[in-house]
């Protein structure tokens, strides 16, 4: 059986089940900050609006992290049922429970710990399954899609939102313009950097019919904005993934922050949402 524990490579978000507390704190802060940014709020609003929920649907947020997306959806008027939120990291799940309680949303979200490659006990229970930046971190996206089909009720819908991390770039003043540090960032923060390009075919192969898609560019030009909350996280996560020493990460981030202060920052990444309906059942 495939398990996230088989992960090879440095992706810190794919190893949250075994990460140290300093890394988990940096991950939790970044997840919370980006969820509050208008870009992510727009993305979530657009895909939830596209679902045209009637209010009775059962929703699963798989790879929920701190539950920021589950909380965003639970606060909407068109989501009346309890949301189930699952993550592989007990630390992030506990953080999610605490934040939901602080926001008065405990009664709307059930948090559980589990591996997206096998969530056997909840099969056939969901009308909507959301993977918001999960699939770029998993060991085996095909197994995760097969599991998604089993978790959904017949005709249920899968929402996948993720980055195309081969397009992620932070320009620097290095002779290569930042190409090598981009490569290190891509492997330090993701396992499946190109998976969204393959997704239409993977969905079709696994019995899903693609119904809706959107493309986004998260680009900060001049000053860091969406990417600004990533910079402090990089100081911790690049060394903890093993791709840079603490000193190298600190010098790299200092330069990015100084570029932002002098209005010469450039960072960009493409993101995509796809909504697909399960069509084939065993």
Ligand X SMILES: C[S@@+](CC[C@H](N)C(=O)[O-])C[C@H]1O[C@@H](n2cnc3c(N)ncnc32)[C@H](O)[C@@H]1O
Q: Which is nearer to ligand X, 143 or 213 (by Cβ)?
A: 143
What's the rounded Cα separation, in Å, for the pair 71 and 86?
13
Cα(174)–Cα(53) distance, integer angstroms: 48
Is 16 an interacting residue with respect to ligand X (CB under 6 A)? yes
CB 89 to ligand X: min, Å: 4
**Between 48 and 64, whose beta carbon lies closer to ligand X?**
64
What is the per-residue binding string for ligand X in 62-101, x denoting contact by CB under 6 A?
-xxx--xx-----------------xxx--x---------
Taking phi first (over 0 means left), then psi (-120 to 50 degrees means alpha), and beta for anything else, what does residue 227 get? alpha
Whole-angstrom CA distances from 119 to 16, 95, 144, 158 are 17, 21, 10, 15
Query: How many residues sit close enough to ligand X to count as binding (CB under 6 A)?
Result: 23
Residue 137 interacting with ligand X (CB under 6 A): yes
10 binds ligand X (CB under 6 A): no
Residues 25-54 that bind ligand X (CB under 6 A): 31, 35
The number of residues making up the chain comes to 282
Closer residue to ligand X in complex, CB, 179/215: 215
Among 71, 117, 149, 235, binds ligand X (CB under 6 A): 117
Residue 186 touches ligand X, criterion: CB under 6 A = no
Beta strand spans in the chain (E): 59-62, 83-87, 109-113, 126-132, 152-170, 208-222, 265-278
Minimal distance, residue 138 CB to ligand X, in Å: 5
Question: Please, is 201 exposed, middle or buried when counting C-beta atoms within 10 Å of its C-beta (0-12, 13-18, 19+)?
Answer: exposed
Element at 19 (helix H, strand E): none
For binding to ligand X (CB under 6 A), which residues are involved? 4, 13-14, 16, 31, 35, 63-65, 68-69, 87-89, 92, 115-117, 132-134, 137-138
């Amino acid at each position: 059986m495939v398990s996230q524990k088989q992960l090879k490579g440095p992706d810190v978000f794919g190893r949250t089940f075994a990460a140290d507390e300093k890394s988990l704190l940096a991950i939790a802060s970044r997840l919370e900050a980006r969820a509050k940014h208008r870009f992510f709020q727009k993305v979530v609003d657009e895909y939830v609006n596209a679902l045209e929920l009637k209010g009775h649907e059962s929703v699963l947020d798989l790879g929920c992290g701190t539950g920021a997306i589950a909380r965003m959806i639970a606060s909407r008027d068109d989501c009346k049922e309890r949301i189930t939120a699952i993550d592989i990291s007990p630390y992030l799940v506990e953080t999610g429970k605490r934040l939901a309680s602080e926001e008065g949303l405990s009664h709307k979200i059930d948090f559980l710990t589990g591996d997206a490659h096998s969530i056997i006990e909840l099969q056939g229970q969901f009308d909507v399954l959301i993977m918001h930046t999960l699939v770029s971190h998993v060991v085996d996206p095909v197994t995760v899609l097969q599991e998604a089909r089993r978790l959904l009720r017949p005709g249920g819908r899968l929402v996948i939102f993720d980055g195309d991390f081969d397009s992620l770039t932070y320009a620097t003043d290095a002779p290569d313009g930042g190409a090598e540090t981009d490569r290190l960032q891509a492997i330090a923060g993701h396992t499946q950097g190109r998976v969204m390009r393959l997704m239409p075919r993977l969905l079709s192969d696994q019995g899903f019919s693609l119904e809706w898609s959107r493309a986004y560019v998260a680009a900060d030009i001049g000053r860091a904005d969406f990417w600004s909350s990533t910079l402090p996280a990089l100081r911790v996560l690049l060394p903890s993934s093993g791709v840079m020493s603490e000193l190298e990460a600190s010098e790299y981030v200092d330069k990015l922050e100084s570029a932002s202060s002098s209005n010469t920052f450039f960072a960009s990444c493409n993101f995509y949402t796809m909504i697909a309906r399960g069509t084939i059942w065993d």
